[in-house]
Structure formats: C-alpha cells, structure tokens
Amino acid sequence: MMLDPASLALAALGGAVIALLLGLFGGGGSVLATPFLLYVVGISDPHVAIGTGAAAVALNAGANLAVLARRGVVKWPCASLFAGAGLAGSLAGAALAQRVDGQALLGGFALAMLAVGLAMLRPAASTGDPAVRLDGPMMLKLAPIGLGVGLAAGFFGIGGGFLIVPGLMAATGMTMANAAASSLLSVLVFGVATSASYAVAGRVDGPALLALAVGGLAGVALARPLAPKLAAHAALARRLFAAMVIITALYVGWRALG
C-alpha cells in the first residue's frame, strides 16, 4: 500500500522518538516501532510493520553508536562478541517469525513488550568496572546469552536492548553506561539481519523506512544534549517510559485478540 504524506510525516515523528529513546536508554524504544507503524502510520500487514521497524531501528542504533563511540564508552571486544554470537539467532528468529500468522505474532509481540516494560521498572545498577577487558571465561558467558537475545530480537523484530544491557552487565561486570553504549552494536546487527530477511520477502516499506530514518536524525541530535541533563532524573524517566511501554503492550494484545 502507498502511504499518504500525512502518514509519512507521522513515520518521521516516530523515527525521531525511537532514536531519541535509543540514545537516552540504550534500548526499549525499538519495541514502539511496530505498534506505531501499525496503529498510527497505518501499515496494515504486521510482518511489513516488523520488517520496516527493524530496519529503522538498525539505522537509528547505528547513528547513536557513532556518537557514543566518539566518547569512548563502547567496549568493542565485548560488544562485538555479543553481536556476532547473536547474528545467527536473529536470522533464525526472523525466518521463523515469517512463518507465523500475523495476529498470532502480534500476540507474542505484546508479551515481549510487557517484558520490556517490567524489566525497565527494575532499579538500574549503577556499579561496575569501567576498565573491564574480555577474557576466556567472559567469552563463555557472552556467546550463549548473545545467541538467545539475537533469537528473540529476530523473532519479534525488536532491537533487544532491554535484554542486551543486563546481559552485558551480568556477563562482564561493566558499568551501566558502558553496557548501554555497547548494546547499540548488537541492536544494529540484529536489526540489519532481521530487516534483510524481511526485505528479501518483500516485507519492508521503503517510503516509510526513509521517513523513519530522516526523523531518526533529529532524534539522535536531541539525545546528545538531553542525555547528561536526564542523568539527575534517570530513575523517574525510566519508570515513566516503562509505564508507556506497558500500556502500549496491553493495547497491542487487545488488538491482537480482537
């Protein structure tokens, strides 16, 4: 279906919001892409919404990653191993999801969104080792976690940042700031893999993706000055965002059942 100019403008607005949330929280924003494309922009096919959203999230994650990499907070060895291990999982998950009925997939997506919201309500850990280095035992922890997170990200078409950040912290002991920045590499890789699988099947809306990407540039620009200012109110911001995700999850679930 061809989207009208008003729908494309809404897609650009959604891209800005998703990129902003990725830049501020390192994850979570991507779960809003699919419901936004379905219920606000007006894409009718859940598979097209998931494929297009995954592509947009990958672009936004890449832009945010470039900004944070210049600050030196990305732990590249740990991030690369996690993303590499999860790549196979994301491809398998995307292939499996395309065999599932659209409404049934949305029901599972609603549960994934609910898990995201509940995970974000947990207090964020503030301790960690900023000088962590990848070693053998750490590799044995990172690889299987990355594979599992990649599978979930590919199946539901989400970036998976809400799983990647705690996974990186648990396996390596790095700080929250390092994990949030490092997670963006996996969000990028998983998003590219997932969207490529959908694109091959003709399930990515090009104009909507372009609008999301253009809006995402504005979101990245906004996240850069807002992130330091948000630090003093980070806990409250996460709770409000989590509440929004949970409410959206309930709505998606209701629509899927209907």
| pLDDT tens-digit map of 129-150 | 888 889 988 999 999 999 998 9
The reported pLDDT for the residue numbered 146 is 92
Cα separation, 68 vs 136, in Å, equals 26
The reported pLDDT for the residue numbered 202 is 95
The model's confidence at residue 114, banded by pLDDT at 50, 70 and 90, is confident
Cα separation, 177 vs 179, in Å, equals 5
- Can you tell me whether residue 157 is helix, strand or coil? coil
**pTM as predicted:** 0.84
Tokens of 172: 């390596």
* Residue 179 contacts residue 48 (beta carbons within 8 Å): no
Least confident span in 8-17, 90-99, 214-223 = 214-223
pLDDT for 29-41, tens place per residue? 678 888 999 999 9
pLDDT for 166-177, tens place per residue? 888 888 989 888
Task: Tell me the CA distances in angstroms from 163 to 26, 60, 148, one per residue in order.
Answer: 11, 18, 10
Q: Where are the domains of the chain?
A: 5-257
For the segment 1-24, the average pLDDT, to the nearest whole number, is: 86
Does residue 21 or residue 106 have the better pLDDT?
A: 106
Q: Decide if pLDDT at 159 tops 80.
A: no
* Residue 22 contacts residue 64 (beta carbons within 8 Å): yes
Q: What CA dihedral angle connects 197, 248, 213 and 189, to 10 degrees? A: -40
